[in-house]
């Protein structure tokens, strides 16, 4: 599917019926045309920007906390990806350096969690709404179990920042390791879009401070117009890298127009293209999560996280605004179904 520069009307009109799985080979079992969300329950309301990880037999979910203040990344856990319960906050308060650098910053946003060489890396952003004065910080831990005597988040400080003069925005970080074992951070939103930086694998910070960002995705717009693209998440697979991004507008309740597109590339640095060859650098790609679900209950669906589970299964988690809960943001999770041609099928 080719997504136009202003794709809300297209996504609304076509929804989940486009981008269906390709024709399987004769010796390959038929794949469903869409994937279906799990019936999640429990502590699933008030969630933005979810990301999943598994430690042992427990799944953990990190998300932007809707409270103000403290808005310092909420933690939830589940034994089965369906039943979710609260497990507290990452910090009691934001690190002092972040509030000093970002005037008016009251909360941490858009966490990303990964496990690297014996420790968990939690990247997060601190900003104010609509501003490019933003910072990305890093916290580390050796366990995710709040009951463990070893559970303690260590503030590792600043990773990267943007100023009011920057033409991109340091929010929505995502850590990724490429097939050669190099570490990267993708992030960004609006303005000139989604960026990529190489990391020092030992510190989790930039390999070259002050390095020029590599551009991965953007939206074109008339002068003064909005350029909504954010929430990048790169998935490394044997033959390609897949870049998921959220287009259009979050955070407007059931009036939100958020949706998720995906492109893939042979190199982590891009270029990323959709199934039909459309370019993410042109604000296009292939639809994976539509603005509305099939029944129209969930609106403005976006900011996904990806989990490759220990059992080999893959999942996407994202937030959506629930018409049956007065438009509050809620958690949604669905298994990822990979078609015979290597593309994820759309989620209904």
153-165 CB burial, b ≥16 within 10 A, e <16: beebebbbbbeee
Residue 185's CB is within 10 A of a number of other CB atoms, namely 28
Q: What pLDDT does residue 205 have?
A: 97
Are residues 203 and 195 in contact, defined by beta-carbon separation less than 8 angstroms? no
61-99 CB burial, b ≥16 within 10 A, e <16: bbbbbeeeebbbbbbbbbeebeebeebebbbeebbeebe
Q: What pLDDT does residue 230 have?
A: 96
Measured between alpha carbons, how far is 248 from 8 in angstroms, rounded to an integer? 7
Query: pTM of the entire structure?
Result: 0.89
Assess whether 198 carries a catalytic annotation.
no
Residues 6+ apart with CB under 8 A from 225: none
Catalytic residue among 43, 230, 284, 293: 230
Phi/psi for 159 (5° steps) reads -105, -45
Measured between alpha carbons, how far is 113 from 159 in angstroms, rounded to an integer? 15
Catalytic residue among 49, 161, 322, 348: 49
Give the pLDDT of the chain (348 residues) as one tens digit per residue: 333 333 333 333 323 232 333 333 334 344 457 789 999 999 999 999 999 999 999 999 999 976 455 567 999 999 999 999 999 999 888 899 999 999 888 789 999 999 999 999 999 999 988 789 999 999 999 999 999 999 999 999 999 999 999 999 999 999 999 999 999 999 999 899 999 999 999 999 999 998 999 999 999 876 666 789 999 999 999 999 999 999 999 999 999 999 999 999 999 999 999 999 999 999 999 999 999 998 999 999 999 999 999 999 999 999 999 999 999 999 999 999 999 999 999 998
Q: What pLDDT does residue 221 have?
A: 75
User: Judging by DSSP bridges, how do beta strands 134-141 and 74-78 pair with one another?
Assistant: unpaired
Assess whether 230 carries a catalytic annotation.
yes
Q: What pLDDT does residue 129 have?
A: 83
- Cβ burial of 249 (10 Å; 0-12, 13-18, 19+) is middle
In the chain the domains, ranked by start, together with CATH numbers, are: 8-335 (2.115.10.20)
Q: What pLDDT does residue 130 have?
A: 79
């Amino acid at each position: 599917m080719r997504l136009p520069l202003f794709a809300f009307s297209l996504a609304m009109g076509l929804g989940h019926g486009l981008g269906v799985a390709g024709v399987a080979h004769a010796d390959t079992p038929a794949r469903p045309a869409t994937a279906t969300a799990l019936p999640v329950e429990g502590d699933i309301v008030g969630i933005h920007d979810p990301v999943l990880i598994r430690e042992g037999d427990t799944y953990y979910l990190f998300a932007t906390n809707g409270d103000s203040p403290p808005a310092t990344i909420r933690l939830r856990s589940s034994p089965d990806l369906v039943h979710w319960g609260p497990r507290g906050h990452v910090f009691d308060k934001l690190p002092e350096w972040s509030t000093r650098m970002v005037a008016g910053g009251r909360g941490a946003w858009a966490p990303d969690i990964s496990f690297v060489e014996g420790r968990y890396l939690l990247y997060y952003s601190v900003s104010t709404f609509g501003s490019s004065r933003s910072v990305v910080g890093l916290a580390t831990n050796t366990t995710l179990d709040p009951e463990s005597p070893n559970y303690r988040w260590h503030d590792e400080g600043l990773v990267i920042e943007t100023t009011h003069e920057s033409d991109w925005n340091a929010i929505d970080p995502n850590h990724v390791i490429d097939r050669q074992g190099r570490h990267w951070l993708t992030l960004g939103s609006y303005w000139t879009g989604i960026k990529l930086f190489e990391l020092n694998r030992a510190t989790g910070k930039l390999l070259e401070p002050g390095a020029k960002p590599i551009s991965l995705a953007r939206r074109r717009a008339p002068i003064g117009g909005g350029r909504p693209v954010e929430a990048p998440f790169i998935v490394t697979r044997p033959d390609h890298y897949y870049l998921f991004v959220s287009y259009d507008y979050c955070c407007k309740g059931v009036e939100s127009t958020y949706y998720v597109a995906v492109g893939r590339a042979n190199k982590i640095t891009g270029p990323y293209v959709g199934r039909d060859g459309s370019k993410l650098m042109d604000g296009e790609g292939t639809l994976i999560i539509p603005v509305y679900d099939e029944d129209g209950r969930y609106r403005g669906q976006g900011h996904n996280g990806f989990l490759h589970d220990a059992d080999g299964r893959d999942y996407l988690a994202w937030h959506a605004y629930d018409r049956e809960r007065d438009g509050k943001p809620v958690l949604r999770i669905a298994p990822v179904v990979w078609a015979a041609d290597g593309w994820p099928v759309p989620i209904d």
